[in-house]
């Protein structure tokens, strides 16, 4: 059974999420503190997606996210944010999360996000070894790895999916809607800002100078273009 970790200290919200995860066919692993979440993840390495609340008694959800990312890029991470939280601050702090959901959220919305992340983790089903080469970049689509000039670049699943989309469409201007639909899924109802957050993070990992990006360039008022 597909496992999802839910880190939330407010019991009523947590049980609400747990009920809906079970209804959607997931096994829910619960945690009420950041430390508990890290312990549960260590005990259950097969957890595919983690939902992290931000306001917690022992450490904030961003810190939990950072600690998870220090050991795993494979796990899908969704942050639970409050509507009162300043969105720019949240996205700036989203150093390793794949997505965020704003409270109050509908169960359908949350499970759609989890389904989308799980689909990506399971891969596209192709098992043959395919290498995509663009400039100094070599992507191995079987191993889900990316190298720049022979050096491995560690990517989250979402960052990998965006890179793959770019490398398969060199020179083509992709709108933020194109990227959202290709990476997060067609029926995905999310804010376009999540695309920018992930692009900003990708640039830090792949560009020589993030202030003057040459690989992922901005197409003003439209989206982004791959130009390696």
By CB under 5 A, name the binding residues for Ca ion: 9, 53, 55
User: Closest-CB residue for Ca ion?
Assistant: 55
Distance CA 40, CA 43 (A): 5
CB of 83 to Ca ion, least distance (A): 14
Comparing C-alpha atoms, which of 51, 158, 46, 180 is closest to residue 110? 51
CB of 159 to Ca ion, least distance (A): 27
CB of 214 to Ca ion, least distance (A): 41
Cβ nearer to Ca ion, comparing 58 with 177: 58
Comparing C-alpha atoms, which of 172, 173, 49, 50 is closest to residue 121? 49
Distance CA 99, CA 80 (A): 9
Comparing C-alpha atoms, which of 143, 139, 151, 144 is closest to residue 208? 151
| Three-state secondary-structure class, residue 140 | strand
Cβ nearer to Ca ion, comparing 53 with 98: 53
Cβ nearer to Ca ion, comparing 64 with 162: 64
Cβ nearer to Ca ion, comparing 48 with 61: 61
For the chain, what is the total number of helices (H) and then of strands (E)?
A: 8, 12
CB of 9 to Ca ion, least distance (A): 5
CB of 101 to Ca ion, least distance (A): 14
Cβ nearer to Ca ion, comparing 12 with 151: 12
CA 10 from centroid of its chain's CA atoms: 24
């Amino acid at each position: 059974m597909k496992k999802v970790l839910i880190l939330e200290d407010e019991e009523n919200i947590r049980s609400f999420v747990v009920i809906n995860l079970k209804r959607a066919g997931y096994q829910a692993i619960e945690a009420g503190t950041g430390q508990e979440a890290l312990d549960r993840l260590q005990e259950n390495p097969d957890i595919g997606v983690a939902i992290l609340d931000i306001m917690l008694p022992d450490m904030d959800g961003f810190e939990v996210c950072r600690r998870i990312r220090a050991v795993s890029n494979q796990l899908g991470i969704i942050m639970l944010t409050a509507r009162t939280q300043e969105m720019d601050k949240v996205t700036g702090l989203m150093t390793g999360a794949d997505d965020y959901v704003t409270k109050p959220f509908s169960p359908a919305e949350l499970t759609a996000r989890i389904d989308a992340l799980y689909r990506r983790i399971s891969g596209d089903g192709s098992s043959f070894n395919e290498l995509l080469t663009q400039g100094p970049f070599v992507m191995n689509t079987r191993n889900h790895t990316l190298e720049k000039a022979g050096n491995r670049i560690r990517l989250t699943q979402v960052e990998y999916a965006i890179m793959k989309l770019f490398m398969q469409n060199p020179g083509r201007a992709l709108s933020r809607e194109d990227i959202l639909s290709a990476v997060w899924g067609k029926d995905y109802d999310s804010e376009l800002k999540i695309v920018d957050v992930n692009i900003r993070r990708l640039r830090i990992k792949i560009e020589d100078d993030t202030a003057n990006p040459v690989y992922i360039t901005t197409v003003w008022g439209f989206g982004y273009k791959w130009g390696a």
